[in-house]
Amino acid sequence: MPIVEAHVLEGYAPEAKRRLVAALTDAVRFVVPAPDEAITVMLHEHAAANYARGGVTRSPAPALPDPAELVLAYLRAMEARDLATAQGMLGDGFAMVFPGTGPMTTLAELVAWAKDRYRFVTKTYEAVEAFPAGGAAVVYTRGTLAGEWPDGTAFSGIRFIDRFEVTGGLITRQDVWNDLGEVRPR
């Protein structure tokens, strides 16, 4: 029965602590074949006034946003064509690759590329999965696409998978796979 103890400075919101406990439980389950109820995680909070590093009293760093929620907010903004909001969620060096494209680095490039492919697209999500990977968070979304072709004909039920990298609370990469090209009218 694995027991994990973590020490944190006071000041984190209950939701941030809940996310930390869930992430630590997932980390244990990734290595040890234990059911959730067999994994104990204990957070020990310490007053910031009783903590110093390098002889300097420190405050806790703010918790990063939930990467899955960040990605879903970005996708909602993109679907609503609120490009200014979506842009604010992107980090330095952002790049995205869609089927049949090389890397694009601006949302304007994506909009220009997509205008001849479809009028609009909406997504229905079957799953959103997030996990840490080498200093970044990786978020996968998968489900189906619906929308309209340029001629106004509706489409639906088209599979997609999006993979995002989130670093420092901002999206730095998006890779997209879907079957639009397979069913697109010629």
Task: Indicate the domain borders of the chain.
Answer: 3-57, 67-183
DSSP string, 69-123: HHHHHHHHHHHTT-HHHHHTTEEEEEEEE-TT---B-SHHHHHHHHTTT-SEEEE
pLDDT (0 to 100) of residue 182: 86
Kindly state the helix (H) or strand (E) to which residue 68 belongs, with its residue range.
Answer: helix 67-79
Burial 103-128 (b: 16+ CB within 10 A, else e): ebeebeebeeeeeebbeebebeeeeb
- The residue type at 19: R
State the pTM of this model.
0.87
67-183 and 3-57 share a CATH fold: no
Give the other-Cβ count within 10 Å of 158's Cβ. Answer: 19
The CATH code for residues 3-57 is: 3.30.429.10
Contacts of 58 (CB under 8 A, 6+ apart): 9, 48, 51, 52
Q: What's residue 184's pLDDT?
A: 82
Q: Give per-10-residue mean pLDDT for the chain (186 aa).
A: 92 93 92 92 89 84 93 97 96 94 94 91 96 93 96 96 97 96 80
pLDDT reported for residue 128: 98
CATH number attached to the domain at 67-183:
3.10.450.50
What does the pLDDT read at residue 58?
A: 79
